Amino acid sequence: MIPIDGYLVPALPEVWFGTLLFAFAMYVFLDGFDFGLGMVYATRDDEAEREQLLAAFGPVWDANEVWLVAFGTLLVAAFPAVYAALLSGHYLAVFGLLFALLARGVAGEFRELNDDPEWRRICDRLFVVGSVAAPFCLGLIAGGWVFGSGIAGLPSLVTGLALVGLSFVAGTAYAALKTRGDLRADALALGRPATAAYLGTLLALVATLVALDPLGAGGRLFAPAPLAAAAATVALPVVGLALAARNRVRAWLWSVGLGAGSLVLLVGTLLYPHAYPATGLTVRDAVAAPVTLNLLTLVAGPFLFVVLGYFVVLYTVFSGPVEESEAGYGG
């Protein structure tokens, strides 16, 4: 029998808060390299190379967005008060994110419907703009959530730039893994300035937090857990560059994924014990009623493991570089 007045385990609210952040981290990394491929796409003039980049993420990009759906679903189911405050307080950035995702998806699909050069130029521009705008808007939302600075505040703007930088690094790593020849070499070369730009935004974010101390985040940054997460977030891109220089591309991509996880871990350690600092809501205040959270655990908990298994199969099936003959979204 499901308890009504108590949780299945005492730490269940914290477990679901961690699960929520895990879903966010998965989205930041997996759709992040999709966005990054769109940025790499902007550097290519050769049509065959552009088709290879589209084919590189064609089989997986729809699946990667499942983690955004999972994040939103878990947020509304487990922390409805945070969902309401986050969307109402950042609705412009939320709509910006949705329009950017729409532009990127539609442009990539529609460019294959017509061979007219002007049509393809318009689609390509929409594809690149959507690939840059989506992580930037996501960073604005995350920055406003953690720092209470609104989407126009400096901490939010720098967070947006940091997610753009992370996506660019992830895109260069994934492009190097999935392509061959000159395109692969250029992706490896692009990784160096992309990583430098990303590290620059991370240092700017740290400096902004220390200088402005939004909602006390600057002070909390030097607590053991946030400091360790921040150190890992800065160190992992440097490790990734060393791996890329040794042509260990798969390990480089793994380091980027771990870097995305450490960045979201930093977000979590700066938030906790609050779930929404601007309103003073703690995780325990904002969590759903015990019976709801218990049902969520019994129903959605096992399903998350099914989703993880699906992604293991998906990336196993579509492992290895794309062939030059492949075109578009895997077509």
Tokens representing 84? 């309401």
CATH of the domain at 48: 1.20.1630.10
pLDDT number for residue 116: 87
Residue type, 141: I
Residues paired with residue 274 on neighbouring β-strands, in sequence order: 282
The C-alpha angle with vertex 310 and arms to 251 and 2, in degrees rounded to 5, equals 120
Residue 159 lies in a domain: yes
Residues paired with residue 282 on neighbouring β-strands, in sequence order: 274
> Coil, strand or helix: which one is 276?
strand
Phi and psi at residue 281, to the nearest 5°: -70, 125
pLDDT number for residue 331: 41
Q: Which residues of 155-178 are buried (b: 16+ CB within 10 A; e: fewer)?
A: bbbbbbbbbbbbbbbbbbbbbbbb
How would you classify the pairing of strands 281-282 and 274-276? Answer: antiparallel
Residue 254 lies in a domain: yes
Residue 324 lies in a domain: no
Tokens representing 160? 């947006």
The C-alpha angle with vertex 138 and arms to 133 and 141, in degrees rounded to 5, equals 125
The full DSSP string for 302-320 is HHHHHHHHHHHHHHHHT-S
Show the domain range for 307: 12-313
pLDDT number for residue 90: 94
Q: How many distinct structural domains can be found in the chain?
A: 1
pLDDT number for residue 61: 86
199 CB neighbour count, 10 Å cutoff: 18
Q: What is the pLDDT along the chain (331 residues), one digit of tens a residue?
A: 566 678 889 999 999 999 999 999 999 999 999 999 999 999 998 888 998 998 898 889 889 999 999 999 999 999 999 999 999 989 999 999 999 999 998 898 888 888 888 998 999 999 999 999 999 999 999 999 999 988 899 999 999 999 999 999 999 999 999 998 899 999 999 999 999 999 999 999 999 999 999 999 999 999 999 999 999 999 999 999 899 989 999 999 999 999 999 999 999 999 999 999 999 999 999 999 999 999 999 988 899 999 999 999 999 988 888 865 445 444 4
Quote the distance between the C-alpha of residue 54 and its chain's center.
19
What distance in Å separates the CA atoms of residue 257 and residue 139, rounded to the nearest whole number?
17
Residue 67 lies in a domain: yes
Residue 49 lies in a domain: yes
Question: Is the CB of residue 288 less than 8 Å from the CB of residue 80?
Answer: yes
Which residues neighbour 193 within 8 Å (Cβ) at sequence distance 6 or greater? none
Residue 322 lies in a domain: no
Residues paired with residue 276 on neighbouring β-strands, in sequence order: 281
pLDDT number for residue 166: 97
What distance in Å separates the CA atoms of residue 37 and residue 21, rounded to the nearest whole number?
24
